[in-house]
């Protein structure tokens, strides 16, 4: 039987999943969390899917061995190409999994007025068709417009400065979405909420942006309550961080994104090479 006192685990290719962690810390502050950023393999968006699936399986197994009560895939690309892998590994430990794609699709399908939903994501996520399938499963006739934005996540991860070249890059990615007349946009990478104001300016305030953080935090809460694993009490839980790349660079960027102290970040390595 799984102990409700165990932490919730989540992983991402880098720091983007911290947008999910932040929402979980707000919605479920009493829980403990373990976060792993696979910065040595970043970005996932253009990597070989077969190799990524091996890596994702190794990360999941590593987190489960530490003792966790839930695994959150805080990465859209990892969800799109490896959700089944995570579920298979987690099932061996009797642990449930919360992905990031389905919760966003559910919200987007519910709030769109004109039925035209955009998806801005990495190359691997778009090519996987994960969002299209998830939106089709909502039971509404939707026109789905998917755009790959390969340069956007690395720009955010690097903490690069916003300039006119950045705006032009974003305008180029948003152009097909504007032409299609979308009224709802799924931010199909957990890094993207960090540039939501820029995207909102380009698309206009009438376009609703659906990020992964709120949707996943709500799904985490439902899952824990349904399984009887929600922690009681109102004391703040703890959190700890691991990364596969340099600790110092992860800590600097992650602190800025999370807006909270990280404490000691520990480095881990996997046999599946980056």
Task: Give the span between the Cα atoms of 64 and 93, in whole angstroms.
Answer: 7
Q: Does the annotation count 189 as an active-site position? A: yes
Task: Give the span between the Cα atoms of 106 and 96, in whole angstroms.
Answer: 19
- Dihedral Cα 10, 16, 21, 23, nearest 10 deg: -140
Q: Does the annotation count 243 as an active-site position? A: no
24, 75, 174, 243: the catalytic one is 75
Longest dimension (CA), the chain: 55
Judged by DSSP in three states, 71 sits in strand
Task: Give the span between the Cα atoms of 115 and 110, in whole angstroms.
Answer: 10
Task: Give the span between the Cα atoms of 145 and 128, in whole angstroms.
Answer: 14
How do 239-243 and 208-210 pair as beta strands? unpaired
24, 174, 189, 243: the catalytic one is 189
Length of the chain counted residue by residue: 274
Which pair of tokens denotes residue 269? 């390595």
- Taking residue 196's Cβ as centre, other Cβ atoms within 10 Å add up to 14
Q: Which residues are catalytic?
A: 75, 189
């Amino acid at each position: 039987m799984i102990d409700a006192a165990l932490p919730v685990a989540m992983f991402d290719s880098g720091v983007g999943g911290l947008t999910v962690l932040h929402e979980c810390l707000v919605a479920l502050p009493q829980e403990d969390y373990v976060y792993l950023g696979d910065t040595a393999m970043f970005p996932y968006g253009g990597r070989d899917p077969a190799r990524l699936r091996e890596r994702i399986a190794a990360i999941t197994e590593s987190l489960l061995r530490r003792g966790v009560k839930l695994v959150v895939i805080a990465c859209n690309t990892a969800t799109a190409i490896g959700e089944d892998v995570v579920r298979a590994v987690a099932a061996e430990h009797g642990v449930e999994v919360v992905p990031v794609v389905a919760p966003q699709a559910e919200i987007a399908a519910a709030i769109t007025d004109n039925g035209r939903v955009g998806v801005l994501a990495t190359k691997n996520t778009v090519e996987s068709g994960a969002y299209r399938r998830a939106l089709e499963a909502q039971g509404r006739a939707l026109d789905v417009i998917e755009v790959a934005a390969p340069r956007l996540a690395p720009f955010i991860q690097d903490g690069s400065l916003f300039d006119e070249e950045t705006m032009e890059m974003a305008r180029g990615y948003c152009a097909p979405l504007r032409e299609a007349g979308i009224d709802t946009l799924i931010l199909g990478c957990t890094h993207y909420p960090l540039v939501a104001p820029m995207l909102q300016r380009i698309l206009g305030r009438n376009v609703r942006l659906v990020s992964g953080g709120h949707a996943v935090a709500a799904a985490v809460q439902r899952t824990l309550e349904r399984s009887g694993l929600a922690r009681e009490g109102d004391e703040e839980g703890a959190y700890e961080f691991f990364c596969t790349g340099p600790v110092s660079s992860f800590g600097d960027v992650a602190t800025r994104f999370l807006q909270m102290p990280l404490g000691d970040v520990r480095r881990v390595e996997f046999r599946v090479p980056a």
